[in-house]
Structure 1
Amino acid sequence: LDDNTISKIKNTDHVENIFPLDGIRNDLFNIKQTSNKDFQNRLESDGDAYAYIWSLLGNEKRSVIAGKTLDESPILCCIVPSQFYPFEVEDENQNLDYVDGESLIGKTITVKASRDMLFHDYIYRIDDEAVNEDLELPAIEYKLKVVGTYYLSPTEAGGYDSIYISQETAKKILDDALTKAGYTKDNSTVVGKWWKDTSMHTHYVVVDDYENIESVYNALTDMNVCCANDPELGIQSSIINASNIFRFASVFLIIATFLLSVITIIQSTTNALSLRKSDIGLLKAIGYKNSQIFACLYCEQLRVTFTGFAVGTIISVVITVVSNLFFSNRNYIDRLYIINWGTFGILLAIAFLIVTIVPLICQLIALHKLNKIQPKDAMNE
Structure 2
Amino acid sequence: MDVNSVQHITQKKIRNFLVFFCLFLLLSCTKEPMFQHSLIYENNQAISLMFTGTKEANSYAIRLKGKSYNVLGDYQKEGNDIQFTPVIAFTRGESYEILLDEKVIQEFLVPKDMEAERPRLLSFYPKLDTVPENLLKMYLVFSKPMQQSQSTLDFIKVFNTTTSEEVQIFLPLENELWNADRTELTLWLDPGRIKKDLIPNKELGIPIKQGNNYEIVVENTLTDQEGIELGKPYVKRFSVAGRDIQKPNVKQWELTIPSGKSKEALGITFNDFLDAQLIEETISVVDANQQQIKGSFLIPKKGNNVLFIPENVWNRGKYQVLISGYLEDLAGNNLNRLFDEDLQSKKEKVLGSLNLLHFEIE
Q: TM-score, structure 1 length as denominator? A: 0.19
Task: Please identify which structure carries the higher strand content.
Answer: 2
Asked which structure has the greater CA Rg, the reply is 2
State the structure with bigger RCO (CA 8 A, min sep 6), 1 or 2: 1
Q: TM-score, structure 2 length as denominator? A: 0.20
